[in-house]
Amino acid sequence: MSTTTQSEDDPPYMKVSPELLHDLRGVDPTEKIDIPEIPEKRKCTDVRWPIPIVLITSLWITMTVVGALSIDVRKIVNGVDECGNTCGMNNVQVKREGCEAKDYTNYPINIYENESRCVQGCEESKE
């Protein structure tokens, strides 16, 4: 067991005993250890973590792009009635059965009372 002289001004890594460092690194106790480790002996310790981070990030980006390309933003901004007609535009087709496409060009506001409907203005919604 070797003894080292340590002073109060030493940085924390210098205060670890060489025996603990040899055990931690799994090297022969007679081998000299440079503190900090010389660049030639350094190695990357977190090699596995970039893989899931890259996979999760690429999945997140893919889902964002697919969602942005497949959504009709006008339905979110203007709203839709009970049949799926978008307020503020001429609807040509509706995907719900039993409903027909309506021209709501002059009815830009969507009101949710007992049911969702398109109105011309706020005064109409109070009736």
- The answer to whether 100 touches 83, Cβ cutoff 8 Å, is yes
> 127 in a domain, yes or no?
no
Instruction: Judge contact between 35 and 42, C-beta under 8 A.
Output: no
Q: Is residue 27 domain-resident?
A: yes
pLDDT of residue 52: 94
- The answer to whether residue 99 sits within a structural domain is no
Spell out the residues 6+ positions from residue 33 whose beta carbon is closer than 8 angstroms to its own: 18, 21, 22, 25, 27
Domain tally for the chain? 1
**Does the residue 79 lie in any domain?**
no
Q: Whole domain around residue 17: which residue ranges?
A: 12-41
The verdict on residue 81 lying in a domain is no
Residue 111 in any domain: the answer is no
Over residues 15-59, the pLDDT tens digits come to 666 667 778 778 888 887 766 666 777 777 788 889 999 999 999
- Evaluate whether residue 16 is within a structural domain: yes
